[in-house]
Structure 1
Amino acid sequence: MARAILLRQLAAAPRSRAQLAEKLAAKDVPEDVAERLLDRFEEVGLVDDAAYAEMLVRTRHQERGLARRALSHELRRKGVDPEVAEQALEQIDDDDELTAARDLAVRKARASRGLDPVKRRRRLAGMLARKGYSPGVAMRAVDDALAADGEETDGDPLGSP
């Protein structure tokens, strides 16, 4: 029964060892049985927190534009060991983070044309903050996005608050 639970969970989506252990505990699988089974799944490569963390960091950064801080929080929430998480987060450097923030800000800036410049700036910075970007990175990305948007439209500078 416990093996079937794990296989169903892994067939649906990759999971960390901690997530699988929680699922087994919720299904009242004895802890010693769960540990032995999880150890065996790790031995055969079905459970690999390092690979899971690297995949999660790569996809969430590329697809959702999440910053390292947000990714670190998500890995912690999913029970990935802090050292394993740190190694996975090394895939993203400062330049990658700024580029992703700029891309997000440019996309969002297009949708906010016509708004008051101060409100527009605040919304863009807030969106980046929710994705885990530091205030410095967020403001650089917002400034770049608004400057680019101003050049694309009528060349009128949008000015800062």
Structure 2
Amino acid sequence: MSDDALFEGAPGAGEVVKAIRPLKNDPSRCAVVVGRRKEATLDRSQVESLGLCVGAAWTAELAERVHEAAGLLKAKRDALRALSMRARSRGQIIESLMRKGHGRTTAEAAADHMTSIGLLDDRAYAEMAVRDELARKPAGRMLLVSKLAQKKIGRELAEEVVAAALAERDGESDAIELAKRRARTFDSRLSSDAARRRLFAYLARRGFDPQLCRRGVEAALGRGER
């Protein structure tokens, strides 16, 4: 059984906290022992905030508070493991923790903690995601906002970050560059009308508005024949 495991037994009459033992592999955490069972693993700050001490009566109220604290500690550790693999948004961390069985309240509290210590920053994450997408290939506002929504970034922040990123670019030049690049991949046997429809649809999928799509198509294929 791992040190993070919880053994939630119903409080028995007259039970007390028998021991609070630092873990051998991590002295910053302690095992809370009641009777012959380990009830939970807490960090030292949680032990202090709960006022836990050897000999304390193990009541139903104390058991609930300890188990909630232990659940939060495990959620924080799960969040740290997830963030050590790659950057994520607050919403993604909450979603990940809930998939692991943590309740929403616990998951949100763990995410708040990660934010407070600087390991979660939705604005920085959104800015990085937009930079990466634009470095891969030009894109318009609608696609970028949609991509951020998929990453659980709130709409207001997504719109703000995308607007700031696109303010530094020329949308028409981006649409034209992408249109010309895409048009070069078309089969020469494709009719002019079909090529124009496909190119317009492609630019629209990349998030450009209809006006920029038309300008891109005209620049790449001309106003009439390819």
TM-score category by the smaller chain?
Answer: 0.7 to 0.9
Give 1:78's aligned residue. 151
Higher percent of residues as helix: 1
The structure with the greater share of residues assigned to strand is: 2
Q: Which residue of 2 aligns with 1:107?
A: 181
Q: In the TM superposition, what is the alpha-carbon distance from 1:94 to its structure 2 partner?
A: 8.8
Structure 2 residue 224 is matched with structure 1 residue 159: yes
Q: 1:130 matched to which residue of 2? A: 205
What's the TM-score once normalised by structure 1's chain length?
0.82
Pick 1 or 2: higher relative contact order, CA cutoff 8 A, min separation 6.
1
Matched positions, count: 151
Q: Which amino acid aligns with 1:72?
A: V
Question: 1:98 aligned to 2:172?
Answer: yes
Could you tell me which amino acid in structure 2 is paired with residue 140 of structure 1?
Answer: R
Write out per-residue CA displacement over residues 8-35 of structure 1, whole angstroms, 9 at most, x where no aligned residue: 3223332110111011111111333322
3-state DSSP of counterpart to 2:84: helix
Report the residue type matching 2:221 in the other structure.
L
1 CA distance for matches of 2:125 and 2:193?
A: 40
| Contact in 2 for aligned 1:102/1:141 (Cα 8 Å) | yes
Aligned to 1:151: none
Distance 1:5 1:159 in 2: 58
Pairwise CA distance, 1:95: 5.1
Task: Indicate the larger mover: 18-27 or 106-115.
Answer: 106-115
Q: Could you list the runs of 5+ residues in structure 1 that have no partner in the other structure?
A: 148-157
Contact 1:70 1:131 in 2 (8 A): yes
Which of the two has higher C-alpha Rg?
Answer: 2
* TM-score, normalising length: structure 2: 0.60
- Aligned mates of 1:76, 1:57 — CA distance in 2: 12
The share of aligned pairs that are identical, in percent, is: 36
Residues 2 and 10 of structure 1: is their aligned pair in 2 closer, same or farther, counting only changes over 3 Å? same
Pick one of 108, 113, 123 that aligns with 1:40.
Answer: 113
Q: Which residue of 1 aligns with 2:25?
A: none
Alpha-carbon offset, residue 81 of structure 1: 2.0
Moved over 6 A (4+): none
Q: Distance in 1 between matches of 2:144 and 2:162?
A: 8
Q: Following TM superposition, by how much is the alpha carbon of 1:160 offset from its aligned partner in structure 2, in angstroms?
A: 5.3
Q: Which runs of 5+ in 2 are unaligned?
A: 1-73
Contact 1:61 1:67 in 2 (8 A): no
**Corresponding residue for residue 218 of structure 2:** 143
Counterpart in the other structure of 1:51 = 124
**RMSD between aligned residues:** 2.2
Q: Distance in 1 between matches of 2:169 and 2:126?
A: 21
